[in-house]
């Protein structure tokens, strides 16, 4: 394994008391991501080094691992300026004209100060090449990190996914629909170090086989950032039909979401999740007003986290496009939130009305039945319809 990738941790380095745990979790996540690659990982509290055979391929995989600030293809040489000069001239792009040297001297026993070392190395490069110095807007930035085990040299630095390693903040249950918002909410939860499992509510025959496959496709996209996602599919038909029969049209959406939240909390406790996540944002549709959120939150004691609550739609779409979920999210397959929708749903529901209308429902029994029949999916390769017949 003759290629080397250097990883910088970024935000992890600000968490001094938990740094070892964060680095350990990040290492485990990287090992899982690279399980099919030939790679050797060496880590310390400030850097991780991956020795491998195909750095370009591994760099692509590492871009989706949260907890990484930057990724660089690096070269390790001895701590003498002659070896550093030789390697620098090898890796500097000959098609470029100007350069700048930035030296980091982590080994404080190394006598030459960083600024002086940069100046000395820059002078040698000038003498032995066609390059010119430009400290303000160089074509090439040559990074030199002097450490006790050697000097690391690199010219490129790819931005990592940032955030915290998935898993350091515990587990959450994401209410994953087929829309644009909830996959983005899941992505943002993962970025803050939350390990997520997903819950999808289906109402066959009112919702289609294609709608379920659409959700599994979105889960597969999120799984690229985690590798540990499960989808828990809730049979919601009976509950939704009971609401349709026995509750006023205007309150159908609010009561439906109260039932979803009850199921989500009860099941979240079963899988040891600490919070419920969803894609709700503050808006003027029936499920997005603050009054609606108050009514819905009333049925649970578990924290409900809405990562995109204060994003506008264009910001959410931009993130959906960034993670590759947008084109799937806009496929025209209805989920259970878009069926039985009344013409004029209540925008500012009242809690006392919700409680009164729910007295017409034997919802505890229906909820238990739904939870008992949840389907757990870990394989996101979409089945063909005829295979299920």
For residue 94, say whether it is annotated as part of any ligand binding site: no
- 240 labeled part of a ligand binding site: no
Counting other chains too, the contacts that 114-118 makes at CB distance below 8 Å and 24 or more residues apart are: 117/81, 117/144, 117/146, 118/144
Count of other CB atoms within 10 angstroms of residue 247: 20
288 marked as part of a ligand binding site: yes
Query: Annotated binding residue at 154?
Result: no
Q: According to the annotation, is 257 in a ligand binding site?
A: yes
Q: Does the annotation flag 200 for ligand binding?
A: yes
CA 226, CA 163: separation in Å to the nearest integer?
13
99 is in an annotated binding site: no
In the beta sheet, which residues pair with residue 76? 152
CA separation, residue 164 to residues 50, 160, 167, 304 (Å):
19, 11, 8, 20
Token pair 């310390």 in the structure block, residue: 44
| β-bridge pairing 171-175 and 158-159 | unpaired
Residue 93 and residue 212: Cα distance in Å, rounded?
49
Rounded CA separation 320/181 (Å): 8
228 Cα distance to chain centroid: 12
- Give residue for tokens 């002078």: 123
Binding residues for ATP: 175-176, 200-201, 257, 279, 288
Indicate the annotated binding residues: 175-176, 200-201, 257, 279, 288
């Amino acid at each position: 394994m003759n290629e080397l990738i250097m990883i910088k941790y970024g935000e992890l380095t600000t968490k001094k008391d938990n740094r070892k745990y964060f680095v350990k979790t990040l290492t485990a996540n990287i090992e899982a991501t690279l399980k099919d690659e030939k790679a050797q990982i060496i880590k310390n509290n400030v850097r991780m080094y991956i020795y491998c055979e195909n750095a370009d391929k591994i760099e692509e995989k590492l871009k989706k691992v949260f907890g990484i600030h930057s990724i660089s293809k690096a070269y390790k040489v001895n701590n003498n300026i002659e070896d550093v000069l030789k390697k620098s001239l090898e890796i500097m792009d000959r098609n470029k004209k100007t350069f700048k040297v930035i030296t980091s001297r982590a080994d404080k026993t190394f006598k030459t100060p960083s600024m002086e070392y940069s100046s000395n190395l820059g002078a040698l490069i000038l003498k032995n090449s066609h390059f010119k110095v430009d400290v303000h807007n160089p074509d090439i930035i040559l990074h030199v990190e002097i450490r006790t085990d050697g000097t690391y040299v690199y010219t490129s630095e790819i931005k990592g996914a940032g955030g915290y390693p998935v898993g350091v903040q515990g587990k959450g249950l994401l209410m994953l629909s087929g829309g644009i918002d909830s996959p983005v909410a899941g992505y943002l939860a993962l970025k803050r170090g939350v390990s997520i499992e997903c819950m999808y509510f289906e109402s066959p025959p009112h919702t289609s086989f294609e709608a379920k496959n659409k959700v599994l496709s979105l889960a597969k996209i999120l799984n690229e950032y985690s590798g540990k996602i499960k989808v828990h599919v809730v049979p919601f038909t009976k509950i939704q039909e009971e609401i349709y029969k026995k509750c006023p049209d205007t309150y159908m959406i609010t009561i439906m979401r109260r039932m979803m939240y009850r199921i989500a909390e009860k099941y979240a406790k079963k899988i040891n999740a600490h919070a419920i996540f969803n894609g709700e944002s503050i808006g003027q549709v029936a499920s997005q007003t603050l009054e609606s959120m108050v009514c819905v939150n009333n049925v649970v004691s578990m924290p409900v986290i809405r990562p995109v609550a204060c994003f506008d739609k264009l910001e959410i779409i931009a993130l959906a496009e960034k993670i590759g979920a947008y084109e799937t999210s806009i496929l025209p397959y209805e989920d259970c939130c878009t069926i039985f929708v009344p013409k004029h749903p209540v925008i500012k529901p009242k809690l006392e009305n919700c409680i009164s209308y729910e007295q017409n429902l034997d919802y505890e029994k229906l909820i238990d039945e739904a939870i008992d029949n949840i389907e757990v999916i870990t394989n996101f390769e979409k089945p063909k319809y005829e295979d299920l017949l």
